[in-house]
Amino acid sequence: MSAEPEPLRVSLEVWHPDCWTIETTEAVDVGILGRVVARDVGSRSTAFVTLYADRRRELDDAIETIRSSPHVHDATRVPRTGPGSDHARPGNATTDLLIDHEASSQISGAFLSRDFVHARPVDTRDGSEQWVLLTKQTRDGVTESLDEITDAQDADITVTGISRTADDTNAARFSLTSLSARQRRSSNSPAPGATTSGRNRFRRATSRPNSTSRRPRCTNTSTRRRRSCWERSSPRPRLLTLVERTRRPRS
């Protein structure tokens, strides 16, 4: 009897159009952890998310940005209760929100319908989503599925790591609900020995629709290089990433 193959852990960086989480983290220096997305009646969905930032003011700005999104119908703060709820998480100001939004603004269903499941909450920061997924597909199956999602959703998808769960020895030690921004960024790094050779395969090269709320699109489809080009073409001052802010000298 042959041994059952270990599931694959797939780490992705994802951009897709008309997403209120991506647009919010482009406009405000915050991160958004997606906890739960539930389909509601008709075309609406409800999401439970956690916003994190260095300062409370940035959280307030982000909430106003979310409420003004054409893809969002309502955003309600969720008070924290229970033991330890009054203690700040290390290095961050945080708040929980319940969001009523258009289901079409999310890409989750495209992954779930292709035999992927969430291994961690989706972490959106700096205008892109960080996904960690589990699947029983083969590597070729993962490649085919990501190609389909890229075409169907007009998305840019970069594979940052693929590994067998048995080889990902550090994955279960991290809890995204209790990490600082720097620790959270480190925890999303590929495990030692993880495959990253496919990281350029799934970037969509077609034009994206422009909107008045989005910075000009660069012709280079690399996510990191695209952000650099946005920074050069945007009249706004560049927003520092959470890691960069921790490295700034104190006056």
For the chain, domain boundaries: 8-246
Lowest mean pLDDT among 118-122, 177-181, 229-233: 229-233
**Nearest alpha carbon to residue 163 among 3, 6, 2:** 6
243 or 3, which is more confident: 3
Tens-place pLDDT, residues 230-241: 333 333 333 333
pTM of the complete model beyond 0.85: no
Region 77-98: what's the mean pLDDT?
Answer: 71
Identify the H or E element spanning 131. Answer: strand 128-135
| Cα separation values, 130 from 58, 69, 211, Å | 21, 21, 23
Mean pLDDT of 183-204: 48
Instruction: Quote the Cα angle for 172-177-182, to 5°.
Output: 85
The whole-number average pLDDT for the span 11-24 is 97
